[in-house]
């Protein structure tokens, strides 16, 4: 599978390597870009077996936002965790309205499988993250077979639904400021009505609060949410997830962090906590 990858760049960081690749992806029927951080342990001649943490970014982001702003590589290097960071949507598909707004289309794939034309031909980011990307990225190192997933905002929503829909594939979940109940917020309403149509029953299949409320397989789940987040009440709605977890007796740890907003300053402040959280379940 690795012969399908074209290396874009490679930078040494914390004794490891940050690599960016592009490739043709069948799930989204276009060229995609992703980044992978390989700790030193993955580069030495012994080829130590390592786990992977997938990071899904939020609205308007690419794979580069997390790699440039989160400060995650030092802890990932020390813990021996490979980081795999995809883009947030297909790009350059020439669909009508694709680039008209920040919260739909390019940079806003919502990590679901679109069912409505013309989006269904390309906007199948769930299949890309869960199936295509692991097949390409995991052969780049001696993969231990253990993987977890995390993300921010729209990417937090993505991490939740990828793991809740496929619990056998992941060891643990975490998120920063996730969109917890997209069926009931403006961002989600706009994306779901265009990608999935107007049948709100279909929306529930991609709503973390709905999925968690009926989950039978339980994964360790950590969420950090800033109390000063400008999107907290209207868009993110963590209370819906708390309520669903309570009803399902799901082991959710949701920490309200006083004074923090929605930015990467927030992520950088707590990313090491999340890496140590996942390390407990990846090894």
Give pTM, 2 decimals. Answer: 0.97
Active-site choice (126, 229, 274, 278): 229
CATH topology (fold) of 2-282: Rossmann fold (3.40.50)
State both tokens at 78: 């020390």
What value does the mean pLDDT take over residues 168-193?
Answer: 98
What is the rounded CA–CA span in Å between residue 41 and residue 76? 11
Question: Are the C-beta atoms of 104 and 194 separated by less than 8 Å?
Answer: yes
Task: Check pLDDT > 80 for residue 3.
Answer: no
Residue 89 designated active-site:
no
Residue 67 designated active-site:
no
Residue 229 designated active-site:
yes
Chain segment 46-78, per-residue pLDDT in tens: 778 999 999 999 999 999 999 999 999 999 999
Question: Are the C-beta atoms of 37 and 82 separated by less than 8 Å?
Answer: yes
Closest by CA position to 196, among listed 113, 99, 95: 113
Active-site choice (153, 172, 174, 183): 153
Question: Are the C-beta atoms of 183 and 235 separated by less than 8 Å?
Answer: no
Greatest alpha-carbon span in the chain? 54
How many CB atoms lie under 10 A from the CB of residue 152?
Answer: 29
Chain segment 248-283, per-residue pLDDT in tens: 999 999 999 999 999 999 999 999 999 999 999 998
Q: Which residue bears the tokens 């077996």?
A: 49
Please report the pLDDT score of residue 1 as a whole number: 44
For 267, phi then psi, to 5°, come to -60, -45
Q: Residue 45: which pLDDT band, with cuts at 50, 70 and 90?
A: low
Chain segment 79-108, per-residue pLDDT in tens: 999 999 999 999 999 999 999 999 999 999
Active-site choice (23, 122, 126, 262): 262
Nearest 5 degrees, angle CA 81-CA 43-CA 4? Answer: 90
What value does the mean pLDDT take over residues 205-216?
Answer: 97
What is the rounded CA–CA span in Å between residue 56 and residue 111? 9
- In sequence order, what DSSP letters do the residues of the chain get, joined into one string? -GGG-EEEEEEEETTEEEEEEEEEETTTTEEEEEEEEE-HHHHSTT---EEEEEEE--TT--HHHHHHHS--HHHHHHHT-EEEEE-SS------TTTTSBTTBBTTB-TTSB--STTGGGT-BHHHIIIIIHHHHHGGGS-EEEEEEEEEBTHHHHHHHHHHHH-GGG-S-EEEES----GGGSHHHHHHHHHHH-S-HHHHGGG-HHHHHHT-SS---EEEEEETT-TTIIIII-HHHHHHHHHHHT--EEEEEETT--SSHHHHHHHHHHHHHHHHHHH-
What value does the mean pLDDT take over residues 122-142?
Answer: 97
What is the rounded CA–CA span in Å between residue 239 and residue 105? 27
Structural Rg of the chain based on CA atoms: 18
Question: Taking the mean position of all CA atoms in its chain, how far away is CA 276?
Answer: 17
What is the rounded average pLDDT for all residues in the chain?
Answer: 96
Closest by CA position to 134, among listed 44, 268, 267, 1: 1
Task: Check pLDDT > 90 for residue 4.
Answer: no
């Amino acid at each position: 599978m690795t012969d399908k990858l074209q290396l874009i760049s490679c930078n040494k960081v914390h004794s490891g390597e940050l690599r960016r690749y592009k490739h043709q992806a069948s799930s989204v029927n276009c060229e995609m870009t992703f980044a992978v951080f390989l700790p030193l342990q993955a580069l030495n001649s012994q080829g130590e077996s390592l786990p992977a943490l997938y990071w899904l970014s939020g609205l308007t982001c690419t794979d580069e936002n997390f790699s440039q702003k989160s400060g995650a590589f030092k802890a990932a290097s020390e813990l021996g965790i490979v980081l795999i960071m995809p883009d947030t949507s297909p790009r350059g598909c020439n669909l009508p309205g694709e680039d008209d707004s920040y919260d739909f289309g390019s940079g806003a794939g919502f990590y679901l499988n679109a069912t409505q034309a013309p989006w269904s031909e390309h906007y199948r980011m769930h299949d890309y993250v869960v199936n295509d990307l692991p097949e390409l990225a995991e052969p780049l190192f001696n993969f231990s077979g253990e993987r977890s997933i995390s993300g921010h905002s729209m990417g937090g929503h993505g991490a939740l639904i990828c793991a809740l829909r496929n619990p056998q594939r992941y060891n643990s979940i975490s998120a920063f400021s996730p969109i917890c109940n997209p069926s009931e917020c403006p961002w989600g309403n706009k994306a779901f009505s265009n990608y999935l149509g107007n049948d709100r029953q279909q929306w529930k299949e991609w709503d973390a609060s709905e999925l968690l409320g009926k989950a039978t397989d339980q994964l360790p789940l950590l969420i950090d949410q800033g109390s000063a987040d400008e999107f907290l009440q209207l868009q993110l709605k963590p209370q819906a997830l708390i309520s669903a977890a309570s009803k399902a007796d799901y082991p959710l740890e949701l920490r309200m962090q006083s004074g923090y907003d929605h930015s990467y300053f927030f992520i950088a402040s707590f990313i090491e906590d999340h890496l140590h959280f996942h390390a407990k379940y990846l090894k």
